Amino acid sequence: MRSNKQLPSPPAAKAPRSDASAPLVSGRVDGAVAVCTLNRPEVLNALSEAVIVDLLALLRGWDRDRAVRAVVLTGGPRVFAAGADIKEMAPLSAAEIKRKDLLYSWRDFAKVSKPLIAAVNGWALGGGCELAMACDLIVAAEDAVFGQPEILLGVMPGAGGTQRLPRLIGRSRALELLWTGRRLDARTAMDWGLVHKVVPPSLVLDEAMRLARGIAEQAPEAARAIKASVDAGLDTSLLEGLAQERQKFYALFDTQDQKEGMAAFLEKRKPHFTGK
């Protein structure tokens, strides 16, 4: 792993936005793929409570939209998200932050049933790393940087860092990063299992969209069932996971896409899945 001295410095924050009405999170739909972009460049996409509320609102809407089959989440070409909004949290006492429960809504990322791909340019630190890990796949730029530096602020991750990171890279490696605040370069993150693919910075969004479009061509209900089965299996025994897998497998035989997929195979043609 590279030393921290070799990792790039964070990009300079931009001047405050001139249009105060600009959305904190923007969304668009390209065919069957929705693209969500964090839009706080002036603070390196710091994840405030309002950002998370707006982001989850978009994701919930797309999760209900049958026309959307996969989602790509990006912070833009310069930075994914450099962390939580420390300015928002710094003045709070333990009682106040517990009462506000700023992190409670983060649990809803696990409820998104459709494939979710993070396109990470630049820094994904603290809450930014936790947000990327809440996605199903991470496509990272060669100069992307990951880490959970909360201990350097006298705290610890609170939005999944101590739970998802060990599941992805193993307990010992996770503890080292969590205890030291050390940053991880993209290549090492891929070698350790945190990142799915590393590409040049200019190709990150294109590669994430390529993956998303490929997934969107498949049977949507099968894709959702696969994600649900994999996630459930990580939290239960092998026997229970196998039982849940079988039930989801059986249920898909009541879909039109199962009939279409198997008919297309027998007829030696490409299937046309409708999500029904």
Task: Tell whether 173 and 142 lie within a shared domain.
Answer: yes
CA 163 to CA 147: how far, in whole Å? 14
Instruction: Specify if 276 maps to a domain.
Output: no
Considering the domain architecture, whether residues 14 and 34 belong to the same structural domain is answered as yes
Residues 6+ apart with CB under 8 A from 250: none
In a domain? residue 274: no
Residues 61, 20: one domain? yes
Q: Please report which confidence band the pLDDT of residue 7 belongs to, taking 50, 70 and 90 as the band edges.
A: low
What does R_g of the chain's alpha carbons equal in angstroms? 20
Q: How far apart are CA 91 and CA 97, in angstroms?
A: 9
96 belongs to the catalytic site: no
Say which CATH number the domain at 42 has: 3.90.226.10
Tokens of 273: 């899945």
Look up residue 14 and give its DSSP letter.
P
Q: Looking at 81, 150, 186, 222, which residue is catalytic?
A: 150
In-domain check, residue 275: no
Same domain, 89 and 143: yes
Residue 168 lies in a domain: yes
Average pLDDT of the chain is 91
Sign of CA dihedral 114, 53, 168, 78: positive
Same domain, 207 and 226: no
- For residue 198, tell me if it sits in a domain: yes
Q: Are residues 196 and 235 in the same domain?
A: no
Encode pLDDT of 133-180 as tens digits.
999 999 999 999 999 999 999 999 999 999 999 999 999 999 999 999
User: What stretch of H or E contains 52?
Assistant: helix 49-64
**In whole angstroms, what is the distance from residue 86 CA to residue 102 CA?**
12
Which is the catalytic residue, given 46, 81, 84, 222?
84
Considering the domain architecture, whether residues 128 and 195 belong to the same structural domain is answered as yes
> Quick check: is 176 catalytic?
no
Do residues 206 and 225 share a domain?
A: no
User: Which residues, at least 6 apart from 37, have a Cβ–Cβ distance to it below 8 Å?
Assistant: 25, 26, 27, 74, 75, 76
CA 69 – CA 94 distance, rounded (Å): 40
207 plus 227 within the same structural domain: no
**Token pair 């092998």 in the structure block, residue:** 238
What pLDDT digit, counting tens, does each position of 216-270 carry?
999 999 999 999 999 999 989 999 999 999 999 999 999 999 999 999 999 999 9
240 is catalytic: no
The two tokens of residue 274 are 């409708």
Task: Let me know whether 182 and 263 are in one domain.
Answer: no
pTM reported for the whole predicted model: 0.89
Angle between helices 161-169 and 171-180 (to 10 degrees): 140
**Which of 22-31, 95-104, 160-169 bottoms out in mean pLDDT, i.e. has the lowest?**
95-104
Domain extent, residue 59, equals 4-216
For residue 229, give the CATH number of its domain: 1.10.12.10
Catalytic residue (one of 27, 127, 128, 147): 127
Catalytic residue status for 150? yes
User: Which of these three, 199, 216, 233, is where a domain ends?
Assistant: 216
Phi-psi region of 181 (alpha: psi -120 to 50; beta: other; left: phi over 0): left
Q: Are residues 105 and 192 in the same domain?
A: yes
